[in-house]
Structure 1
């Protein structure tokens, strides 16, 4: 597990894709590109034979670059960070802030792959991924992206927002709340009914005191600690989803 800090300073718990899984994903993409490249060459062979050798060589170079850059660029832009290989392995490229990959970032990654993967047989990508704590290759460093695994263990549903605390939760500053503290609070709320009432009350005050000391403003006076924790976690989850999911009407109609 790793942490991704969103633009709202909310920490997202994500599983960074490790090198072996990314290598399999890359091999799938390479196989797709090579098959498509060979088929295209066969279909274009008759047309290319009509040009002289210099023109044919120039066309082949341009076509090769377009295939190597176009495949990841088109797929990652259209699917928001996924190629066929990544789909097969359950991976996705996201921005360092946890948001969807942008066109500019996909372009940087695609251009870098021509050098670090195709020209140098992937050795810079492997070395950089092994040295990076977040398994980044050079293209990820230049583009400001990270590859995550979407097949991690499923967590339980987030707490339900107490309606009368929604206004307070919407005003919270969550930058001081760590992922570990949020996870402790989530696990407590999920098991609270199984605990002895006295133990539950003691744990609720202790955990709520720790969590609420990291957020601002404080809850309304007299708020039960369990409800305060539920409001904080529900708002944190809401902001995560808002950051990761683009607005459906982000682009005005033309």
Structure 2
């Protein structure tokens, strides 16, 4: 089945276009993730064997290893069950496999995946894996018009391709400004939970600020910066009191860089 394009009109009346990820790219990403998990699982089991063998002169198979074995089983269950859930929520809808294949999980409305959606989507992997080797999930992805498995349908998510990098693209005025100031995403310390509180409305606000940055006079830009900073920065637990005009500008420009990766979708 060919991979399709999908246009979404957000509640904020912003039109977004996505290229849906098909069975091939999703299967490849899943295989990469599974190989990674199998490797980590094997390492954990080997470590258990070595540790338990070193603690007793008895052969491993006749040792009283019920407690360490139970702990290992629980650890492996958490690892294998939480890997997809944690990566998809905290890494912008991308597991390691998805990142390598250039795809990501998002909400049907074009927003980043939520905590609840990530949980439901990955809880449904149990059903999608039936009867064996992810058979049901693959069948659903192949025949569904939007390449969704059951977990995507229940959670209201879809898997799309990342935007393609544009080679030798001319820098925009705001990108030149950020480059001249030597700013990077590392210049603003914001935890993931706070960033998740910012949605499309906040992205539109910061992107408007970046577009108008060079169009305003110095006085108007000072007032505009103060207004935007007072709205956005407290939402990510950053103080504006006592900050200079340049410090507030830098904080907002770095915030623009951070949010741009999640919200500026291009094919």
The reply to whether TM is greater than 0.5 is yes
**Is 2:163 the partner of 1:146?**
no
The one-character-per-residue Cα deviations of 1:121-152 (angstroms, maximum 9, x if unpaired) are 11111011122111011111121111100145
Cα distance in 1 for residues equivalent to 2:69 and 2:11 = 47
CA RMSD of aligned residues (A): 3.5
Match of 1:85 among 64, 77, 97: 97
Change (3 A) 1:81 1:62: same
Partner residue in 2 for 1:22: 26
**Consecutive aligned runs of 4 or more in structure 1 exceeding 6 Å deviation:** none
Cα distance in 1 for residues equivalent to 2:237 and 2:133 = 43
Partner residue in 1 for 2:107: 95
Change (3 A) 1:111 1:57: farther
- Please state how far the C-alpha of 1:69 moved relative to its aligned partner: 1.6
Partner residue in 2 for 1:65: 77
Cα distance in 1 for residues equivalent to 2:81 and 2:42 = 16
Whether the 8 Å CA contact 1:5–1:96 is kept in 2: the answer is no
**Is 2:214 the partner of 1:252?**
no
Whether the 8 Å CA contact 2:130–2:136 is kept in 1: the answer is no
Whether the 8 Å CA contact 2:22–2:142 is kept in 1: the answer is no
Whether the 8 Å CA contact 2:52–2:65 is kept in 1: the answer is no
**Is 2:140 the partner of 1:128?**
yes
Cα distance in 1 for residues equivalent to 2:15 and 2:116 = 24
Partner residue in 2 for 1:37: 41
Whether the 8 Å CA contact 1:68–1:110 is kept in 2: the answer is no
Change (3 A) 1:38 1:18: same
Aligned length: 172
For structure 2, which runs of at least 5 residues remain unmatched after alignment? 54-59, 171-199, 208-231, 240-267
Match of 1:242 among 197, 204, 210: 204
Cα distance in 1 for residues equivalent to 2:202 and 2:19 = 15
**Structure-1-length-normalised TM-score:** 0.57
Q: What SS does the aligned partner of 1:3 have?
A: strand
Cα distance in 2 for residues equivalent to 1:19 and 1:249 = 42
Match of 1:137 among 149, 153, 163: 149
The one-character-per-residue Cα deviations of 1:157-198 (angstroms, maximum 9, x if unpaired) are 9xxxxxxxxxxxxxxxxxxxxxxxxxxxxxxxxxxxxxxxxx
